[in-house]
């Protein structure tokens, strides 16, 4: 608990949270069941209880500088156990959305992506760019060349230029946003954690050791399947990224021809790509189905969640469909879905820092910052743990 606080509740912020998925946040009466139930919350100033009252009191400054919102993996143990139905998991998610919106650079894009009424505009940009490309190179002629040769359908060069630019923009934007976030954590230290300070790099390495195998995620109970699904998607995406990078490297630097688009599927790079794609899509489908069928466990889903799922699942599925259609021998079909796939990929790259996708950056930064200040979450949860009694004087002075 903070020592001193001058409270200037931001009514608009609270209303924003209520609208963004934290609709039950006002129901919390601070019983702290959530913080007790959470398997991954630190023992010192645990979340999400404090976030609940900050949200109720519209304390935007606190929540926007809070590293803990990103330590939460939204396993929903808290929401399923909340006696008041306040759904702390949903609130944490809503705060994260608001956080991305308020921290990202340029911020208008955050507003564009987060606002349901702007869906058409947001999606329209990549659609129009890709349509222009298609029109420019072959005037909407999906019939040839045959057999399928995507490089002949649209030249690789402009695609690489545009997509690399989009990626660079995304990375720069994300880095700027994350730098802002790190600085604000350093400057405000909202939860007043004091511990051994470690440099950014060692902290980041420590954080990655936790993130890559999803060790924290595994501790969540209510939504344990999501751990597996997310792990599949996570490594699937890494596999796809590696595949794409290798192919691009081969073409651009080594000037090797890409493995034939109609040749055998047994080349190592193809196996890696296809296996990654299957893992990627499988994980996403599991998560989507659970969101639809068991919302009480998976948490409620707001526009922000669906948009991200739409873009990322759209990317995966259109990619897979493109390949399947090609195998089925439909040349125009393959080109058509290839075009759709390009739209999704562009949206994914362009909006990375503004979509929920940005969590890959924010969460990493928050975990790294936690490592650097020694915000250890693991107080071994021994069964029936009883904290040691404090000396009377010490207890009284608190």
Partner 1 sequence: MAQKIGVYIDTGYGIGEALDVEALSQVAVKEYKVAVCRAEPYWSDPEKLAIIRNDIATEELTAVIIAGPSRRVFEKEFRFDGIITERVNLREHVVWCQPPNNEDTQMLAEDYLRMGIVKTQKYDDRAPFSEATEKAILVIGGGVTGLHAALGAANAGYQVYLVEKEAELGGWARKYPKVFTGKPPYDELVASQVGEKIAAVQASDRVKVFTGSQVYEIAGAPGMFDVIIRPNGPWVEEANKKANDWRAEQLARAARFAGEKQEAAAEKEEEVGAWGVGERPEPDYEHTRVAVGAIVVAAGWRPEDASKFEHLGFGKYPDVITSVQMEELAAKGKITRPSDGAAVQSIAFIDCTGKDNEKPNFLYHSYVTSLVALKQAHYLRQSNPDGRAYIFYENMRTPGQYEKYYQTMQDDPGVFLSKGGVLGVSNGGRQLAVEVKDTLLAERLKVSVDLVVLGVGMVPVTQDSAVVNLRYRQGPFLPVNPQGFNDSHFICFPYETQRTGIYTAGCVKQPMDFYQSGTDGLGAALKAIQCAELTAQGKAVHPRAGDQSYPELFITRCTQCKRCTDECPFGMYDEKPDGTPMPNPTRCRRCGICMGSCPERIISFRDHSVDMIGSMIKSIEVPDEYSEKPRVVVFICENDAYPAIDMAGINRMHYSPFVRFVPLRCLGNINLIWIADSLSKGIDGVMLIGCKYGDDYQCHFVKGSELAGVRMSKITETLQRLVLEPERIEVHQLGIDEYAQVPVLIDKFLETLSGFDPNPYKGF
Interface residues with partner 1 (CB under 8 A) are: 1-9, 11, 14-15, 18, 26-27, 29-30, 53-54, 56-59
Cβ proximity to partner 1: between 4 and 394 the closer is 4
Cβ proximity to partner 1: between 69 and 358 the closer is 69
Q: Tell the smallest beta-carbon distance from residue 319 to partner 1 (Å).
A: 43
Q: What angle do CA 92, 93, 94 make, to 5 degrees?
A: 90
Q: With b meaning 16 or more CB within 10 Å and e meaning fewer, what string describes 238-273?
A: ebbeebeeebeeeeeeeeeeebeeeeeeeeeebeeb
Cβ proximity to partner 1: between 13 and 362 the closer is 13
Helix residue spans in 143-267 (DSSP H): 150-153, 156-188, 200-211, 215-219, 224-252
Cβ proximity to partner 1: between 28 and 129 the closer is 28
CB 47 within 8 A of CB 38: yes
Cβ proximity to partner 1: between 6 and 254 the closer is 6
CA 44, CA 94: separation in Å to the nearest integer?
Answer: 23
Q: Tell the smallest beta-carbon distance from residue 23 to partner 1 (Å).
A: 10
Tell me which DSSP letter residue 398 carries.
-
Q: 108: phi > 0 → left, psi -120 to 50 → alpha, else beta; which?
A: alpha
**Is the omega angle on the peptide bond into residue 173 within 30 degrees of 0, that is, cis?**
no
Query: Which residues touch 390 (CB under 8 Å, ≥6 apart)?
Result: none
Rounded to whole angstroms, what are the CA distances from 188 to 17, 118, 191, 345? 22, 33, 8, 37
Q: Tell the smallest beta-carbon distance from residue 86 to partner 1 (Å).
A: 10
Cβ proximity to partner 1: between 15 and 197 the closer is 15
Q: Tell the smallest beta-carbon distance from residue 70 to partner 1 (Å).
A: 21
Cβ proximity to partner 1: between 56 and 318 the closer is 56
Q: Tell the smallest beta-carbon distance from residue 114 to partner 1 (Å).
A: 19
Rounded to whole angstroms, what are the CA distances from 301 to 23, 25, 118, 284? 11, 15, 18, 14
What value does the CA radius of gyration of the chain take, rounded to a whole number of Å? 23
Q: Tell the smallest beta-carbon distance from residue 9 to partner 1 (Å).
A: 6
Q: Tell the smallest beta-carbon distance from residue 26 to partner 1 (Å).
A: 5
Tell me which DSSP letter residue 39 carries.
S
Cβ proximity to partner 1: between 32 and 225 the closer is 32
- Find the farthest-apart pair of alpha carbons in the chain and give their distance in angstroms, rounded: 84
Decide: helix, strand or coil at residue 171. Answer: helix
Q: Tell the smallest beta-carbon distance from residue 67 to partner 1 (Å).
A: 18
Q: Tell the smallest beta-carbon distance from residue 89 to partner 1 (Å).
A: 19
Cβ proximity to partner 1: between 29 and 200 the closer is 29
CB 200 within 8 A of CB 257: no
């Amino acid at each position: 608990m903070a020592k001193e606080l001058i409270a200037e509740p931001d009514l608009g912020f609270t209303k924003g949270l209520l609208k963004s998925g934290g609709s039950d946040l006002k129901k919390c009466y601070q019983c702290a069941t959530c913080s007790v139930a959470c398997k991954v919350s630190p023992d010192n100033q645990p979340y999400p209880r404090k976030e609940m009252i900050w949200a109720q009191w519209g304390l935007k400054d606190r929540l926007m500088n809070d590293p803990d919102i990103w330590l939460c993996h939204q396993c929903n143990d808290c929401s399923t156990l909340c006696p008041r139905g306040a759904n702390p998991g949903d609130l944490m998610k809503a705060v994260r959305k608001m956080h991305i919106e308020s921290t990202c650079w340029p911020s208008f894009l955050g507003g564009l992506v987060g606002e349901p009424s702007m869906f058409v505009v947001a999606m329209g940009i990549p659609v129009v760019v890709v349509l222009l490309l298609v029109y420019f190179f072959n005037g909407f002629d999906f019939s040839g060349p045959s057999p399928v040769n995507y490089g002949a359908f649209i030249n690789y060069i402009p695609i690489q230029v545009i997509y690399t630019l989009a990626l660079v923009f995304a990375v720069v934007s994300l880095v700027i946003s994350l730098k802002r976030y790190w600085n604000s954590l350093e400057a405000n230290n909202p939860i007043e954690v004091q511990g051994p300070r470690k440099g950014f790099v060692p902290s980041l390495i420590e954080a990655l050791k936790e993130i890559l195998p999803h060790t924290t995620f595994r501790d969540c109970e209510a939504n344990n399947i999501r751990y597996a699904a997310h792990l599949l998607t996570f490594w699937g995406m890494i596999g796809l990224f590696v595949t794409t990078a290798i192919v691009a490297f081969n073409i651009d630097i080594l000037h090797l021809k890409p493995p034939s688009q109609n040749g055998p599927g047994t080349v190592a790079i193809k196996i890696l790509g296809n296996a990654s794609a299957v893992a990627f899509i499988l994980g996403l489908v599991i998560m989507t189905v659970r969101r639809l069928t068991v919302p009480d466990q998976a948490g409620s889903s707001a526009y922000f969640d669906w948009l991200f799922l739409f873009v990322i699942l759209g990317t995966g599925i259109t990619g897979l469909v493109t390949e399947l259609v090609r195998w089925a021998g439909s040349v125009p079909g393959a080109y058509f879905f290839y075009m759709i796939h390009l739209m999704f990929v562009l949206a994914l790259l362009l909006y990375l820092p503004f979509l929920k996708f940005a969590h890959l950056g924010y969460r990493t930064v928050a975990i790294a910052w936690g490592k650097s200040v020694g915000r250890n979450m693991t107080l071994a949860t021994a069964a029936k743990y009883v904290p040691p009694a404090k000396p009377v004087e010490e207890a009284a002075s608190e």
